[in-house]
Structure 1
Amino acid sequence: MGTRTLVSRVQLNRPRGRIIYWSVLGLTVLVFTLVFLGPLYMMITGGLKSTQEAIQDPPTLYPHHVQASTYHTAWTQLNLAKLLLNTLIYAFGALLFQLVFCISAAYAFSKLRPILGNAILGAMLATLMIPAMVLIVPQYITAISLPFIHINLLNTPWAIWVPSVAAAFNIFLLKRFFDSIPQELLDAAGIDGAGPLRVLWSIVLPMSRPIVSVVSIFALVAVWKDFLWPLLVEPDPTKQTLNAGIYSLSQGVPENVLIAASAISAAPTIIFFLFFQRNIMAGLTAGSLKG
């Protein structure tokens, strides 16, 4: 039997059916392309416009007088090099902590099976139902005075690194992948004398590179795109991330310069996705092993 599709082969073999099919398909692709790439195009070209043209209503579709120097002005006037360095430090620090704690938690839930492990995992996943804005106040109070040790984390990288560890979704993704690893491999390693940590390091992690890559990308992008939390816990503009720093230093800055700064801040994540899109798709679809 042939593969069932939305449009039958008989209809596609007819001239009218082919015309309708390709017309609908082309229109759909065009609409979605405009929806997703339209704002990006307007942001990039907005940084090439003059101030008057950037604030013009209705906006122009392309810059009538290209001013490429606006990007250089945004880079120097808003000190984007420093903000970019801050963001890289925060992002890769959060990535390190997430990999250590999320992989450990997922491995424990999947293979070590602690007492009440399912209940704890269920409680962690339940936090995904809570809107992020609701947690801002308790997280801020916790950052002001860390429980038991009473340390103020404000204006330090720890204020961004510590909350990033609580990534229930990443733990769930890792656990689901670890569940697909045959228990026989781990039992064989245990018979050879390997402990739980050695099994994790030598067997589980090498087989989990696709999902670890996806979790790493999620961790980096989460810190990169975050705005409100870095703005609250890093009040010093020189220590803020790109998004928060651009907002803090935006007073008196022309509109076209701000648009250019926004385009610069978005460029690394776009380039990062273009280079690692195969890893992202492979990691999201990975979850089973062929014997």
Structure 2
Amino acid sequence: MSTRTLVSPAALRSPRGKALYWLVFGVVLVLFLLAFVFPLYWAVTGAMKSPVELARTPPSVVPETWFPETFWQAWQELDLGRYFLNTLIVAGGAVLVQLAVCVPAAYALSKLRPVLGNVILGLMLATLMLPASALLVPTYMTIADVPLFGVNLLNNPAGIWLPAAASAFNIYLLKRFFDEIPGELLEAARMDGAGPVRVLISIVLPISRPILAVVSIVALVTAWKDFIWPLLVFSDPNEQTLSVALERVAPDTALNVLTAGLVLASIPMILVFLVFQRQILAGLTAGSLKG
């Protein structure tokens, strides 16, 4: 059975159809470039303008005088090396802790079938309906005095890691992927004497590399760009992340230097996407396994 489309293949093969197709394709491509590439171009060129030119109205599209040394100036004046390290520790730890919690939770809900597992999953997904602002106060009070342990995690990376550990969205993504793993494959491993943990480590995790990459990248980007929660957790300037530190120094920093700092802060996440875009697409589109 042929697939029905808005435009028939015969119409697309005609000269008029081909011209119309490439016209629409070109317009859409230009619009996407303007929407996604132009803001990046504007930030990079804005950082290389003088403060006077950057504040001018109307703005200049191309800098009249180029100042590429602004990036090095921003790195030194804003002490970005310290804040890059802080952010890397916070984001990297958030990824590891989240994987350590979400992977076993999703595996248990998908393959171990606990009692009331669907109810537990439903309650997890219900937390996605809550606005993030509604959770700030109770989460802050919990971090300031961790129940049972009486530990204060303010100005500590663990104050970021622990609240991010159980992500309902990532647990759901992982569970959906684990649901597609054939039960016969896991049953064969159990017949060979493998326990649940061994099955998870030796069978499930190697198969699940695409979705693990997606979950890791989502967790990394979320922790890297987060602002409100790190602002509450890190009151010590020496422990702050990039997003918090740049906002703190903004009033006393030249606009072009601040823009250069913002560009430098965004480069790692752009590189992550460019390097791992295939893994992201593979993980998001993976829905079945071929035997």
TM-score by length of structure 2 reads 0.96
Alignment of 1:82-97 (within 5 A): 82-97=82-97
The equivalent of 1:223 in structure 2 is 223
The equivalent of 2:150 in structure 1 is 150
Alignment of 1:1-291 (within 5 A): 2-291=2-291
Q: 1:51 to 1:151 in 2, by over 3 A?
A: same
The 3-state SS of whatever aligns with 1:60 is coil
Question: Over residues 219-255 of structure 1, what are the superposed CA-to-partner deviations in whole Å (9 max), with x where a residue is unaligned?
Answer: 1111001011111100112111111111112231100
Amino acid at match of 2:42: M
Cα contact 1:155–1:236 (8 A) shared by 2:
yes
Figure out how many residues of one structure are paired with residues of the other and give that number: 291
The 3-state SS of whatever aligns with 2:290 is coil
**For the residues of structure 2 that align with 1:196 and 1:146, how far apart are their CA atoms?**
31
Cα contact 1:237–1:249 (8 A) shared by 2:
no
Q: CA deviation at 1:29?
A: 1.4
Superposed CA RMSD in Å reads: 1.3
**For the residues of structure 2 that align with 1:128 and 1:3, how far apart are their CA atoms?**
36
Question: Over residues 52-96 of structure 1, what are the superposed CA-to-partner deviations in whole Å (9 max), with x where a residue is unaligned?
Answer: 111122221111100011101110111100100111111111111
The 3-state SS of whatever aligns with 2:250 is coil
Q: CA deviation at 1:2?
A: 4.6
Q: 1:148 to 1:19 in 2, by over 3 A?
A: same
Q: CA deviation at 1:19?
A: 2.6
**For the residues of structure 1 that align with 2:279 and 2:152, how far apart are their CA atoms?**
38
Greater CA deviation, 242-251 or 61-70?
242-251
Greater CA deviation, 163-172 or 21-30?
21-30
Question: Over residues 144-194 of structure 1, what are the superposed CA-to-partner deviations in whole Å (9 max), with x where a residue is unaligned?
Answer: 111232221110111101111021111111111111111111111111111
Cα contact 1:53–1:60 (8 A) shared by 2:
yes
**For the residues of structure 1 that align with 2:119 and 2:89, how far apart are their CA atoms?**
35
Amino acid at match of 2:177: F
**For the residues of structure 2 that align with 1:22 and 1:4, how far apart are their CA atoms?**
21
Cα contact 1:47–1:257 (8 A) shared by 2:
yes
Greater CA deviation, 100-109 or 238-247?
238-247
Gaps of 5+ in 1: none
Q: CA deviation at 1:15?
A: 3.3
Gaps of 5+ in 2: none
Greater CA deviation, 10-19 or 195-204?
10-19
